[in-house]
Structure 1
Amino acid sequence: MCKMAVILLSLLSLCSLAFAEPPDVDIYCGDMNCYEVLGLERDAAKKDISKVYRKLAGKWHPDNFRTQEEKDDAEKKFMQIATAYETLRDDESRTEYDYMLDHPEEMWRNYYRYYRRRVGPKVDVRLVLAVTISLISAAQYYFSWSNYNEAIKFFASVPKYRMQAQEIAKADGLLKKDKKADRGKSREEIKEEEENVIRNVIMDKMDIRGAYAKPTWKDVLWVQLVLLPYTIFNYIRWYIDWILRFWIKKEEYSRVEHLYLIRKNMGISQGKFDMIEEEEIEDMLEQELWIAANYKEYKDVKDAEMKAKMSESGRYKQYRRYMKSHGNDRMTFDDS
Structure 2
Amino acid sequence: MNSYIYLIFFLSLFVINVDSLINGLYCGSENCYDLLNVTRSASKQEIVKAYRALARKYHPDMTKVATDKQLYTEKFRAFANAYEILKDEETRTDYDRMLDNPDEYYSHYYHYYRHRYAPKVDVRIVLFILISVISAIQYYSQHSNYYTAINYLVTVPKYRIQAQEIARQEGLLGNNSGESSKKNRGRKAISKQEEEAILKRIVEQNLDIKGGYKKPSITRVLWLQLILFPYYIFLSLKWHVRWFYKFHINKHELGDDEKIHLICRYLRINREQYEALPEKEQHQIWEKKVWIKENFLEWKTEKEEEQKIKLSESGRYKAYRRYMKSGGPGQITFDGD
- TM-score where L is the length of structure 2: 0.78
User: Partners in 2 of 1:52 and 1:242 — Cα distance?
Assistant: 75
How far apart are the structure 1 equivalents of 2:14 and 2:212?
57
Report deviation, 1:180. 8.0
Match of 1:126 in 2: 124
Q: Which residue, 44, 54, 79 being the options, matches 1:52?
A: 54
Question: Matched residues in 2 for 1:80 and 1:152: separation?
Answer: 67
Distance 1:301 1:102 in 2: 78
Deviation at 1:122, TM superposition (A): 1.5
Corresponding residue for residue 148 of structure 2: 150
> Taking structure 1 as reference, are residues 81 and 279 closer, same or farther at Cα in structure 2, changes over 3 Å only?
same
Query: Counterparts of 1:305-320 in structure 2 under 5 Å?
Result: 305-320=306-321
Partner AA of 2:96 in structure 1: D
Identify the residue that residue 7 of structure 1 maps to in structure 2. Answer: none
Distance 1:321 1:21, change over 3 A: same
* Inter-partner Cα distance in structure 1 for 2:312 and 2:239: 45
Alignment correspondent of 2:201: 200
Give the match's secondary structure for 2:120.
coil
Which has the higher Rg, Structure 1 or Structure 2? 2
Give how far 1:79 is off. Answer: 4.2
Structure 2 equivalent of residue 267 of structure 1: 268
* 1-structure distance, mates of 2:248, 2:139: 40
Q: Which residue of 2 aligns with 1:10?
A: none
Aligned AA for 2:313? E
- Pairing 1:174-323 to 2, within 5 Å after superposition: 174-177=172-175, 190-323=191-324
Matched, 1:34 2:32: yes
Unaligned 5+ segments in structure 2 are 1-11, 176-183, 333-337
CA contact 1:50–1:89 (8 Å) conserved in 2: no
Match for 1:276: what amino acid? Answer: L
**For the structure 1 residues 39 and 180, does the alpha-carbon distance in structure 2 shift closer, same or farther, using more than 3 Å as the test?**
farther
Q: How far, CA to CA, are the matches of 2:13 and 2:230 in structure 1?
A: 46
SS in 2 for 1:30: coil
Give the direction of change, closer, same or farther, for the CA distance of 1:246–1:167 in structure 2 (3 Å limit).
Answer: same
SS at match of 1:45: helix
2:139 and 2:216 in contact (8 A); partners too: yes
TM-superposed CA distance for 1:169, in Å, is: 1.8
Q: In structure 1, what is the equivalent of residue 6 of structure 2?
A: none
Q: Partner of 2:8 in structure 1?
A: none
Render the CA deviation track for 1:284-323: whole Å, top value 9, x for unaligned.
1121011122122222222332333334334444444555
Identify the residue that residue 114 of structure 1 maps to in structure 2. Answer: 112
After superposition, the Cα gap between the structure-2 partners of 1:17 and 1:231, relative to the gap in structure 1 and judged at 3 Å, is farther
Which residue identity is paired with 1:125?
V
- Aligned equivalents of 1:280 and 1:193: distance in 2? 39
Deviations 1:156-184 (A, max 9, x none): 1211122122212222222223798757x
Rounded to whole Å, the distance in 2 between the matches of 1:95 and 1:17 is 32
Of stretches 224-233 and 303-312 in structure 1, the one that deviates more from structure 2 is 303-312
**C-alpha deviation, 1:100, in angstroms:** 3.2
State the secondary structure of the residue aligned to 2:58.
helix
State the one-letter code of the partner of 2:112: Y
How far 1:220 sits from its partner (Å)?
1.3
Q: Which residue in the other structure is 1:98 paired with?
A: 96
Cα separation, 2, equivalents of 1:79 and 1:297: 79
C-alpha distance in 1, partners of 2:321/2:72? 76
Distance (Å, rounded) in 1 between the aligned partners of 2:323 and 2:144: 38
Match of 2:160 in 1: 162
In the TM superposition, residue 74 of structure 1 has moved relative to its aligned partner by 6.8
**Counterpart contact for 1:22–1:105, Cα < 8 Å:** yes
Question: Over aligned residues, Cα RMSD in angstroms?
Answer: 3.3
Greater shift in the superposed pair: 28-37 or 50-59: 50-59
Compared CA separation, residues 48 and 303, structure 1 to 2 (3 A): same
Amino acid across the alignment from 1:264:
R
Give, in whole Å, the separation in 1 of the partners of 2:331 and 2:228: 51
**How far did 1:66 drift?**
5.8
Question: Number of paired residues?
Answer: 307
Distance verdict in 2 for CA 1:120–1:37, change over 3 Å: same
The 3-state SS of whatever aligns with 2:151 is helix
Identify the residue that residue 180 of structure 2 maps to in structure 1: none
State whether residues 36 and 47 of structure 2, in contact with CA within 8 Å, keep that contact through their aligned partners in structure 1: no
Residue 178 of structure 2 is matched in structure 1 by none
